[in-house]
Structures are given as C-alpha cells and as structure tokens.
Structure 1
Amino acid sequence: MTIRQLLETLTVLIPLPPFLAFVLIVLFFNRWKRLSHSIAIGAIALSFLMAQTVFWTVVGWGGEALYEHPIAVSVPWLPSGEHVLSMGVMVD
C-alpha cells in the first residue's frame, strides 16, 4: 500500500469515529453520562489525530504535488434513473 492509498483510506475514515460513538452512545451508553462523554471526546480526538496526520503528510509533500493530482475519493450514493448523486472527499 502506497502513502497515497493510505491517505485516501484515512481521509475517508475521518468521519467514522464520531458516527460510531453516536451509535454506541444512543444504543448502549445513554444512561451513563460520564462514560458517554468519554466515548464522544475520545472519538473526536481520534478523528482530529487522523485529520492532522493527513494534513501534515500533505504539507510534507508540498503543495505542488497535490496541485496536479489531488486526493479525491468519490462513491455513488443515490442513484436516480439516469443520474447518480455521488458523495466523496477531496484533499487538495
């Protein structure tokens, strides 16, 4: 796996920890407020660290490398007849 592929994967996964924390808190830990707070803060911190990893790796590459070929990941999200609404992320 190349650094670029790792960054693409990491960029897509950045929103995942807060979403998983939301699901866990709503389904299982809603009664325990202190534990719920800890889970939410931990998930946000993990997403922040992932975003910082992507940011500083891209800064280390220099802006010129991504100017020509930005990191872009797009997935078809909502097909509607002939048209497809895509959702994705881009680091440029």
Structure 2
Amino acid sequence: NDTSQIYQILPDRLKSSITHYFDRFSLKERKRVKSVSTDLNSHYQGLVRRYFPNAKLVVDRFHIVSMLTRAFNQVRVAVMKQFDP
C-alpha cells in the first residue's frame, strides 16, 4: 500500500530555506519519518540526518542511473582512446 505524497515544494534549494521549513515540525513528529528520498547533494544528507534521526536515507533512482551512465561513458571513452580510429 503506497501512501507516498508530496506535501510541499519549497521555492528554492537554499539550506536556510530548508532548515526554516523543517524547524516548524517538532522532533517527535520528525522522528516518525521512516525514509527520505534525495539526490546526492551532501548538504541534503546532513539535513536528513539532523532533522530525521530515524529515517532511512534513499538516493532517488534518477540520480543513481545518471551517475552510472556518466561513469560508464567515461570508461567507454577512455577505452576507445586506446585504439587507432
């Protein structure tokens, strides 16, 4: 049973805006959060650990696939450069 919902989209990605938003919720409420999906931004990882101490941090699929694709292409180009055209 999927109960995932988007509750809020903030106007920007600034750390101050994010902390201001999450400061509105009590620690008791934030401890009830089970998982948080995020990209690979290191600031977000720190914020999740700070505000949601019991949550599992999940990197979203889009960013995982994007990272793997970039890495694969870097290796592919490096291998291709070893051969004459």
TM over 0.5: no
Which of these two proteins has the greater Rg computed from alpha carbons? 2
Structure with greater proportional strand content: 1
| Greater relative contact order (Cα < 8 A, sep 6+) | 1
TM-score by length of 2: 0.32
